[in-house]
Structure 1
Amino acid sequence: MRLLLMGPPGSGKGTQATRIAAGLGIPAISTGDIFRANVADATPLGRVAREYMDAGEYVPDQVTNAMVRDRLAHPDCEPGFLLDGYPRTLQQVHELDSFLDEGTNRLDAVVELVVDRDVLVDRLLLRARSEGRADDTLDVIRRRQEVYAEQTAPLTAEYAARGLLHAVDGDGQVELVSERITGLLAGLGATSTR
């Protein structure tokens, strides 16, 4: 399966991405991991990305798009993949469409983890305290939730219009949420490798 997993900060998206990808035997691909790998390997794209990152700037879409395109061309992505953190803009959605079309692939599903905003805020405050993140204040956490909602609304609308968007309740224990996602994906034809 070719999947995109979306969810606001605190939804458990990273944890679920790893679990679901392992269960399906496909790579979980996050833009953060792609950036780190390219920078560590000093690839041409990694050197460009590092310049922006060292300056505290966002890495431009064209660099991000090129890194994702390159990663999806690796042989381990042939049976499928799970994208985490990309696309983040409508422009990136269309760019993803263009390079998936080159390989006659399309996304099979977009899974959005839905969690009540107050639950998310509580989770992130607890994590901030346990990890000593003094800069993760209530106001900062609430603002991140607002920014996520504003930025992803066009993406969820686009994928809903295509019939690809599937909302999954992301509240509850990790295993329970994993079971919900696995059940959804099984209904869409995914088979577990476990």
Structure 2
Amino acid sequence: MDYFGKMIGGPNADLVILSFLCQTDCGISEFQKELRSLGEELNFTRDINSNGPWRDSHEDGQLESDGHCPSSIIGSLGDIQPQVELDWPVNPGEAEALRQVAVELKEIADQLEHSVVAQATQNLSRSLSNSPMTQWKQLLALEVEWAVRQGPYVGLEHLPQERIIVALTLTLVKGVCERAPRLLRDLFTAALQYISPAMAR
């Protein structure tokens, strides 16, 4: 099994999935909030804009030499969205391998035919809204299989089918959750259950 299979099929699969989902190009605030919340739940993220509540001993509106910022300045920053940063494992080599897998998946996802992905995302959204969560893994698998059958995808012929399946799966999860962020946790779990056993083989 190569490093890709180890990362996706191993204990850090959830971190790779979250990393892929955090590579969003759009500013969908509800989706970002759900990602941040899920990452915090999994102990994988922190808000890089602050390390907790600001405490100030001076109310003069000046930036202090120790880096603290008075509340008068903080008040004007209230509309800035928190940014999510993933907390990677301590081992730098493993962290870099996980980042590389997420980047590769994003590159594959960018090459997938947009019309096929859009249709599969729409189908999955519709199916999820009419089905119990216990069936979400199977519904996700069906849409991924449908999208794979629509190939071959130009420029991706050299890649192992497993990588295309993982990229398609995560692309569909992201597409659905950008439209309906409240589905993130359950669809994240379904994707993890679907992807991990297949990659561990």
Q: Same fold (TM over 0.5)?
A: no
Structure with the larger RCO, 1 or 2 (CA within 8 Å, 6+ apart): 1
Under a length normalisation based on structure 1, what TM-score does the superposition of the two structures give? 0.32
Higher helix share: 2
Larger Rg: 2
Higher strand share: 1
